[in-house]
């Protein structure tokens, strides 16, 4: 599942945990390695490396970056792709308002929360917020530049206000942060129970009179902790 497909906060939470939760394993030589899965690969390689080969195709670049939202770099890459299309349309004197509105909406959603919180908020709810140009403006949206705002003012005039999604939806954001912090505390507790539960169980098994003879190669402390 992609973040842009999440319709519940639990889906967003599970996606984040699957990406960043550390998983440990003991190697044949007895060393312990712990690592997170990280972002899903593109064609077997890290997505930013794969993106370099299609960076001259704004549509493919946009689509790949969108698959990796809400990573900070993904927002920026989508914005770059839209700017390329807008500049081309302006040069050819063709319509570009749809792409400019998408750029604005992208920047407005990004202003709801930073990475650390936003990835655990379901995309469907953020995408449905009223973040119109008149309500949010453009000057305070961090991924927009001076030229972006110039284009927006040319088409839509001066906004009624200059704000961010986090300010417009303060109460909702506060509730999200409280929920996310509670989830993270629960996850830390679960990890502690799992790790130390494995440790105590293995110590008990090894000290039992009926326990089988120990292996020639003893496990280290990390082997105990992770039950490997």
pLDDT category, 206, cuts 50, 70, 90?
low
- In sequence order, the β-bridge partners of residue 24 are 34
The token pair that represents 145 in the structure block: 């530049």
Mean per-residue pLDDT of the chain: 88
pLDDT for position 179: 98
Q: How far is CA 25 from the centre of its chain?
A: 25
Q: What is the mean pLDDT of residues 108-118?
A: 97
pLDDT for position 154: 97
Of 160, 30, 67, give the one whose Cα is nearest residue 81: 67
Helix (H, G, I), strand (E, B) or coil at 96: coil
Query: Phi and psi (nearest 5°) for 169?
Result: -125, 50
Distance CA 203, CA 33 (A): 22
Inform me whether the pLDDT recorded for 195 exceeds 80.
no
For the chain, which residues make up each domain, given as ranges?
3-225
Q: Are 122 and 9 in contact (CB under 8 A)?
A: yes
Distance CA 176, CA 181 (A): 9
By residue count, the chain amounts to 228
Inform me whether the pLDDT recorded for 200 exceeds 70.
no
Q: Are 152 and 100 in contact (CB under 8 A)?
A: yes
Helix (H, G, I), strand (E, B) or coil at 157: coil
pLDDT in tens, 18-28: 999 877 666 67
Q: Is the pTM of this model over 0.85?
A: no
Q: How far is CA 107 from the centre of its chain?
A: 15
Q: What is the mean pLDDT of residues 76-103?
A: 98
pLDDT in tens, 121-158: 999 999 999 999 999 999 999 999 999 999 999 999 99
């Amino acid at each position: 599942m992609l973040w842009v497909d999440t319709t519940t906060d639990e889906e967003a939470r599970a996606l984040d945990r699957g990406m960043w939760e550390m998983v440990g394993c003991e190697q044949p030589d007895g060393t312990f390695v712990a690592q997170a899965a990280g972002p899903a690969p593109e064609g077997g390689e890290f997505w930013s490396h794969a993106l370099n080969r299609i960076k001259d195709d704004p549509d493919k670049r946009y689509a790949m970056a969108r698959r990796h939202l809400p990573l900070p770099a993904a927002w920026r890459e989508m914005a770059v792709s839209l700017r390329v299309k807008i500049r081309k349309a302006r040069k050819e004197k063709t319509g570009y308002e749809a792409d400019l509105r998408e750029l604005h909406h992208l920047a407005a959603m990004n202003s709801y929360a930073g990475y650390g919180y936003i990835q655990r908020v379901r995309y469907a709810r953020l995408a449905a917020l009223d973040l119109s140009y008149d309500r949010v403006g453009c000057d305070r949206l961090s991924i927009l530049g001076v030229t972006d705002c110039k284009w927006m003012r040319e088409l839509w005039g001066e906004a009624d206000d200059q704000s961010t999604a986090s300010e417009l939806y303060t109460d909702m954001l506060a509730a999200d942060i409280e929920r996310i912090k509670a989830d993270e505390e629960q996850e830390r507790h679960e990890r502690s129970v799992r790790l130390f539960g494995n440790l105590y169980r293995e110590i008990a098994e090894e000290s039992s009179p009926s326990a089988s003879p120990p292996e020639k190669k003893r496990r280290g402390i990390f082997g105990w902790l992770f039950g490997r």
